[in-house]
Amino acid sequence: MVSTSAVIASLQRDYVEALRRSDVKAIVLTGAKGRFSGGFDINAFDKKPKSEKPVSLSIDFLTDIVEDAQKPSVAAIDGIALGGGLELAMVCHARVSTSSAQLGLPELQLSIIPGLGGTQRLPRLVGLPKALGMLLMSKPLKRVEAHRFGLVDAVVSADELIRTAYSWVLEIVEDKRPWFRSLHRTDRLPALEETKKILNFARVQAQKQSASLQHPLVCIDVIEEGIISGPRAGLMKETLCGKMPEMSQISKSLRHGFFAQRATSKIPNISNLGLTPRRIHKVAIVGGGLMGSGIATALISNNFLVILKEVDEQFLDAGISRVKANLRSFIKKGQMTKEDYESKLSLLSGVLDYEQFRDTDVVIEAVIEDVSLKQKIFSDLEKHCHSNCIFATNTSTIDLQLIGQKTSCQDRIIGAHFFSPAHVMPLLEIIRTHRTSSQVIVDLLTVAKRIRKTPIVVGNCTGFAVNRMFFPFTQVACLLVDCGLDVYHIDHVITKFGMPMGPFRLADLVGFGVAVASRKQYLQSYPERYYNSMLIQIMLEENRTGESSRKGFYLYDDMRKATPDPEIKKYVEKSRSMASIAQDPKLPKLTEDDIVEMMFFPVVNEACRLLDEGVAMKASDLDVASMMGRGFPSYRSHSFPLFCVSRIIFLPYH
Ligand SMILES: CCCCCCCCCCCCC[C@H](O)CC(=O)SCCNC(=O)CCNC(=O)[C@H](O)C(C)(C)COP(=O)(O)OP(=O)(O)OC[C@H]1O[C@@H](n2cnc3c(N)ncnc32)[C@H](O)[C@@H]1OP(=O)(O)O
C-alpha cells in the first residue's frame, strides 16, 4: 500500500508540473476504480511526521498551490469522496459527480479534526447548518442532495463523468463558467448574529450527544474562527487543533476500533481457505418473539426471503406485528421509505409448520432458552430441511453441542447470537463448535455482512464471549451492594464512565427471570469465580421482574422512564443479611475510579481467560464485542488501557 505521504508528495509534484507546463490549460482530478478517495490513510496518524517543521498540506499545498493557481481545476467524483478526499475535491474550482457518489467528512467519528480545509470550505459550499450536520454526525451527502446543497455542480452518469469535467474546466478557462474559490465564498454563510446562534445550538447538541468528548466542540470553534477572523485564520486554527495531544489519545482508541471492527471477519484457517460463500436466499426463523421478530426484520430489510414459524396463529400474528412495528421505526428514523416498507414486508411470510422449510438455506432458531425444546426443534429441522441447510441458534448461553445432541448434522450447527434489539444492535456473535464446518462459518459471515452486522467468531462455552466476559460485571455490582455501596451510586458512576446504562438498570431491562436463569448456567460452569448474591432472587420472589413489571431496581412509567425506588432498601438489607460479608467501613470512601476499576478489572480477567482458552481468537475481537455488544465507550480504551484487551494484562482477580 502506497503511504499517504508518498501519495501527497506525488500529487503535489504532478500538480506543480501541470501548472508549469504551457501546454496544460486546466486540470481535472479524479480517482481510480470507481472511487475518488476514502480519505487519509488512518494509519498515517500513528506515524511521526518526518519533518519537525509543521508542513501544512492544507495551506502550503492545497490553498496556495491548487486553489490559488492560475489554472482552474475540476474534481470528477465517482464513488466515495470522504475525509481528505472530499477536502481535496472542495479545493477544486468545481465538482462533477456520478449518482453513486457519497461525499462526507467522517473524521470526527475518529476524533480527527478535518485537516485539509474541510472545516472552512464545507460551510461555504453547503451552508453552515448542513455542514455542521455532516461534520458532527459524520453523515455523507449523496447525489441529489449533494447537488441541491451545492457540494457538487453537476451529477452525470459514470460514462459522462470525465468528459463533463473536461468541458466544465475548459468553459471556466473561457470564462463561460464561474471560477469559484470555495475558501473565499460568503454567499452561503449566515450573518454574524445568526452564525453565533447556529454554532451555540450545535455546541449544545454536541454536548448532549457525547458530553465527554471535546473534539466536536473544537471543530465548531475552528469553524467559528474562520467565519469571524477569516478563512485563512480558520485554516491555521484547524492545523493547530489537529495536533492536540489529548484528542490524539482518544483518536488512537477510535482508530483502533475502526480497524478492529474490520479485522473480525479475518479468521485464521477459515476466511483464508478460499471457500466461496454459498448463495443464501431464503431464511426461516423459528420463534417470533422479541428476538425472532428482530432477526426477521434485519433479514427482510436486507432483501432476504424470510419465513417466520410460530406455534399458533396468535403468536404468529404477534410476531409479524412486531416486525411491522420495527419497520415503521426505520421509517420514523428516516432509514426506510414508505415504499420500501411494503416491498420489504412482502418478503416475509408466516407459517405454523415446517412444510415451507424444504428449500430454506438457513434456519435460525430463536425460541426461549429451554434445552429440550431446542433439541426437539433441531431434530425436526433435520427431518424437514435439505441436507445443506444451515441450522443456527440464537441462544445466548446454552452449549451448542447440547442443542444439537439429537441430530446427526453437528457440522451444520452454528450459533448466531444477536443482541437485542436484533434489528438495531450491530454485533453478531457467531459461535462454532469443533464440528462446525468452515463452509458454514463462511456462509454465515456472508449473511452477517449482508445484514450489516459486525461478526465475531468465537468458540463454544457457557456465555460464549460477550456475555461470559461481562458476567462478572453484574456479579461485582451485587457484591459492592452487599458490602455497603448504594445501587444508584454504582449505576451513576458506570453511566458517567460512558456505558449506556449501569448494571442495575441493565438488569431491569434484561429482566430478572433471564438474569437468574443465566446465573444458574454460570454457577454450574464457573463455580470458583461466582458470587452468589441473593439480591435479584429476593426481588424476583416478590414479583419484581424489572422493566416488564414496571418494578425492578427502578420504577417505570408508561414512557419507560426509570425512577429510583426507595422500596428496594428492604431488599438490599435482606440481601446483605444473607451475604456472609462484613460491611466494609472503607467502602463509602471508594472513588469513582475505584468503582470503575472494581467493575471492569474482572471483565478484563474474563476476557483474558477467553483468549487463553482459545474461545476468542484475537483480543481486538473482544474490544469490538465490548463496544458493539455492550456499548463500552469506544473512545475509552486509552484512559482505561487495561480494558483494551489487546494489551493483555492478567490482574489479581477481585
Ligand atoms: C503525510 C503524512 C501524514 C501524517 C499525519 C499528519 C496529518 C496532518 C494533515 C491532516 C490531514 C487530515 C486529512 C483528513 O481530514 C483526515 C482524513 O481523511 S481521516 C480518514 C477519513 N476517511 C474515513 O474515515 C473513511 C474510512 N473508511 C470507510 O468509511 C470505508 O472503509 C469506505 C472507504 C467507505 C469503504 O468501505 P468498504 O467498501 O466497506 O470497505 P472497508 O471499510 O472494509 O475497507 C476496506 C479496507 O480499506 C481499509 N480502509 C478504508 N478506509 C481507510 C482509511 N481511510 N485509512 C486506512 N485504511 C482504510 C479498511 O481498513 C479495509 O482494510 P482491510 O480490512 O481490507 O485490510
pLDDT for the residue 645: 45
pLDDT for the residue 635: 87
Query: How far is 288 from 294, CA to CA, in rounded Å?
Result: 8
Question: Is the domain of 503 the same as that of 427?
Answer: no
Is the CB of residue 259 below 6 angstroms from any atom belonging to ligand 1?
Answer: yes
For residue 493, is it within any domain? yes
Question: Is the domain of 175 the same as that of 277?
Answer: no
- Does 107 qualify as catalytic in the annotation? yes
pLDDT tens sequence across 233-256: 999 999 999 877 666 788 889 999
Question: Is the domain of 424 the same as that of 547?
Answer: no
Grid-cell match 475481537, residue found: 621
Question: Is the domain of 443 the same as that of 516?
Answer: no
**Which residue among 53, 82, 271 has the greatest number of ligand 1 atoms within 8 angstroms of its CB, and so is best to mutate?**
82
Nearest residue by C-alpha to atom 40 in ligand 1 = 262
Domain count, the chain: 3
Question: Is the domain of 575 the same as that of 443?
Answer: no
Is the CB of residue 115 below 6 angstroms from any atom belonging to ligand 1?
Answer: yes
Nearest to 287 by CA among 421, 426, 393: 393
pLDDT for the residue 527: 93
Query: How far is 579 from 71, CA to CA, in rounded Å?
Result: 80
Distance 468 CA to ligand 1 centre (A): 33
Angle of helix 503-510 versus helix 466-482 axis, rounded to 10: 120
For residue 264, is it within any domain? no
Question: Is the domain of 436 the same as that of 507?
Answer: no
Is the CB of residue 89 below 6 angstroms from any atom belonging to ligand 1?
Answer: no
Angle at Cα 401 formed by Cα 512 and Cα 456, nearest 5°? 70
Low-confidence ranges of the chain (pLDDT < 70): 1-3, 48-55, 245-247, 637-654
Question: Is the domain of 470 the same as that of 454?
Answer: no
Distance 251 CA to ligand 1 centre (A): 13
Question: Is the domain of 488 the same as that of 446?
Answer: no
In the chain, the amino acid numbered 279 is R
* 3-class DSSP assignment, residue 353: coil
Atom of ligand 1 nearest to the CA of 242: 10
CATH of the domain at 508: 1.10.1040.50
Nearest residue by C-alpha to atom 2 in ligand 1 = 5
296, three cell numbers: 426477521
| Residues 554 and 505 sit within 8 Å (Cβ to Cβ) | yes
CA atoms within 13 A on the CB side of 595: 30
pLDDT for the residue 210: 82
Distance 256 CA to ligand 1 centre (A): 12
Grid-cell match 422512564, residue found: 561
For residue 643, is it within any domain? no
Is the CB of residue 248 below 6 angstroms from any atom belonging to ligand 1?
Answer: no
Question: Is the domain of 418 the same as that of 499?
Answer: no
Nearest residue by C-alpha to atom 19 in ligand 1 = 40
- Does 67 qualify as catalytic in the annotation? no
Query: How far is 176 from 391, CA to CA, in rounded Å?
Result: 64
pLDDT for the residue 3: 66
Question: Is the domain of 479 the same as that of 587?
Answer: yes
Q: What is the pTM for the complete model shown?
A: 0.88
| Residues 565 and 554 sit within 8 Å (Cβ to Cβ) | yes
For residue 561, is it within any domain? yes
Question: Looking at 52, 67, 87, 194, which residue is catalytic?
Answer: 87
Question: Is the domain of 471 the same as that of 534?
Answer: yes
Is the CB of residue 34 below 6 angstroms from any atom belonging to ligand 1?
Answer: no
Residue 604 belongs to domain spanning: 466-614
For residue 443, is it within any domain? yes
Sequence-separated (6 or more) residues with CB below 8 Å from residue 457: 264, 267, 270, 430, 431, 432, 441, 445, 617, 621
Nearest residue by C-alpha to atom 41 in ligand 1 = 262
Distance 43 CA to ligand 1 centre (A): 8
CATH of the domain at 231: 3.90.226.10
**Which residue among 135, 262, 453 has the greatest number of ligand 1 atoms within 8 angstroms of its CB, and so is best to mutate?**
262
